[in-house]
Amino acid sequence: MTPAAHGPVVAENKIIDGALLAERIKSDVAEQVRALEERGITPGLSVVLVGDDPASAVYVGSKERTCIELGMHGETIRQPATISQAELLAIVDRLNDDPSVHGILVQMPLPKHIDSDAVVRRIRPDKDVDGFHPVNVGKLLIGEKDGFAPCTPSGVLYMLQAYGVQTAGADCVIIGRSNIVGKPMASLMVQPGVDATVTVCHSRTRDLARHTRRADILIVAAGRAEMVTGDMIQPGAVVVDVGMNRIPDATKRSGTRLVGDVAFASAREVASMITPVPGGVGKMTIAMLMANTARAAAQLREVRS
C-alpha cells in the first residue's frame, strides 16, 4: 500500500527529515509519470475545493503545484460554500466518468449542510487517492495491495522504513483514533511485514503516560499542542509527531508559531529519533498523494487493457 523505501537514511542529530524523504518520493513519482507518458497516459488529479477556508486553499494550491512539477495534470475545481450537496455530487460523478482523471480528492472540511460521508462514498474507490472510501478502508484492514491507504499514515510508515526503524515485534503506541490518521495507522502497523504490536490511545484512555512510556515507536496524532512531554517517553523511543497546531508567540510577526503534539525540546532529549514540526510528517502527505495518483493511473490503465 506504500511505496517501497530505498536503503536506510541516517538520522542527523536524531531528526527524521520529512522534507528529504518527500523529495525522494517525488523523484520516484516523476520517473513513474515519465514511464506512463511513454504509454500515452498522463496521470490526472482533480481536487474539489468548496468555500474559502484559507488553510485549505493553501494546501490545495500546494497539491496542484506539485502535480505540475511532477509532470501530472493537476486541476482544482473551486466552488462556493453555498453549493448544494446534489451539485457537489454531480461534480464527483462527472470526475468519476472522466477517463483523464485518475485521482479525485474533495478537500475537507465541507460546509455543515453537506454530508461529507456521502461525498466520500460517491467517489469511485479506484480513484479515491485519499484512501477514505469504505472499500479502501476495508482493503487496508485485510491487507489487500490494490487499494489506497490514507496519505499521512502511509507517509509515516515510509519514514519509519526509510530510517531503518525496527517495527517487527516493536511496541507501537498511537495517540489518536481518527479515521484519517489513528485508525489507518494502526492497520498499517499490524500488517504482515510490519508486524508491530499496536496500542491505540484516545481521550478516554486512563493514565496515558503509562502507555507512552513503554512505546518503542510513539506516533502522536491527537490535535493537542505539545501534549506529550519528554518525561512521557521511553528513552530510545522513535517519536513521530503528526500534529500541527498554532500557538501564540509574541516574538513572531504573525503572533503565532507552529508546533506539534509533542513538546519537541524535551522529547528530543530522550528519543533516539524524532520528527520535527514543521519539516516532518507534513511534507510526506502531499508526496504520498502524488504516489497514490500515479499508481491509480497505472492500475486504471491495466484494467482497461
Give me the active site residues, please. Answer: 63, 107, 130
**Cβ(48)–Cβ(79) below 8 Å:** yes
For residue 103, count CB atoms less than 10 angstroms from its CB and return exposed for 0-12, middle for 13-18, buried for 19 or more: buried
Where do the H-state alpha helices sit in 104-257?
Answer: 116-122, 134-142, 151-162, 182-189, 208-212
Handedness of CA 278, 279, 281, 282 (dihedral sign): positive
Q: What is the distance between the alpha carbons of residues 273 and 12, in angstroms, rounded to a whole number? A: 9
**Alpha-carbon radius of gyration of the chain:** 19
Q: How far is CA 296 from the centre of its chain?
A: 16
- Cα torsion 257, 258, 260, 265: sign: negative
In this structure, the number of other CB atoms found within 10 A of the CB of residue 282 comes to 23
